[in-house]
Amino acid sequence: GADISARNIDTLSAQFPLCMQNLHRTLRRDAHLKHFGRLQYTLFLKGIGLNLEECLIFWRSSFHKITEDTFNKEYRYNVRHSYGDVGGDSNRRGGGYSPFSCQKILTEHPPGPGEAHGCPYRHFSLENLTTLLQGVGITDRSVLNGVKEDKESQKFHMACNRVFEHVHKNEIKKAKEESIMTSAQLETMVHPNEYFKRSYLLKN
């Protein structure tokens, strides 16, 4: 599979859960993300195994409308802080912050206008959610209807897992047949990094 490096994030992002695909698409569209979006995405990228040096390259090249000086002054520190490279002792000892779980993303800091963090299954209107799903290639009517029902009954994880199972249906079938993955490994996911890890395992 592709290396976990700055130049491969565009390719790898096809295997990200919808929350992170939304951040990635917004970043590519605007060459910018607001604070909580940067935090949510940086910690996710750290969680998939992108090292600090590559993460800094990723953000610097993504924020291509600003100068080196502005990047260094306003953004570099926060990325390093997320990795525990700078900051207080406990942050440094712990290697920085942990990637956010779905629970945290679903319940803390709901996105305001112009912000792209959060969980699209929860924080988007049904119309915007459907448009986003179609934008990432989910056009199957029964999947879209299932997502709508999950959203209406506030089962946001279910929606996310439904999409995962649809996107990976061939690989899951094969993995089950060949006993590559146990049923425990195919249980409902509750973490964006688990979503990627499982996708990476199935597709590589």
The answer to whether 156 contacts ligand SF4 (rule: CB under 6 A) is yes
- Amino acid identity, position 64: H
Question: Considering only 13-21, 74-82, 107-115, 146-154, which stretch makes contact with ligand SF4 by CB under 6 A?
Answer: 13-21
Q: How far is the CB of 29 from ligand SF4 (least distance, A)?
A: 19
Q: Which of 79, 49, 84, 48 is nearest to 62 (CA)?
A: 79
Instruction: Give the CA angle between residues 76, 37, 200 to the nearest 5°.
Output: 95
Using the rule CB under 6 A, which residue among 195, 198, 199, 202 binds ligand SF4? 195
Residue closer to ligand SF4 by CB (options 38, 157) is 157
Using the rule CB under 6 A, which residue among 38, 46, 151, 157 binds ligand SF4? 157
Binding residues for ligand SF4, how many (CB under 6 A)?
Answer: 13
Q: Which of 84, 88, 59 is nearest to 71 (CA)?
A: 59
Q: Which of 190, 195, 148, 194 is nearest to 167 (CA)?
A: 195
Measure Cα distances from 148 to 66, 124, 191, 200 in Å: 39, 12, 21, 27
CA–CA gap between residue 75 and residue 88 (Å, rounded): 18
Q: How far is the CB of 18 from ligand SF4 (least distance, A)?
A: 4
Q: How far is the CB of 6 from ligand SF4 (least distance, A)?
A: 22
The answer to whether 192 contacts ligand SF4 (rule: CB under 6 A) is yes
The answer to whether 119 contacts ligand SF4 (rule: CB under 6 A) is yes
Q: Which of 128, 125, 102, 114 is nearest to 20 (CA)?
A: 102
The answer to whether 102 contacts ligand SF4 (rule: CB under 6 A) is yes
Which residue ranges make up the site for ligand SF4 (CB under 6 A)? 17-19, 102, 105, 119-121, 156-157, 160, 192, 195
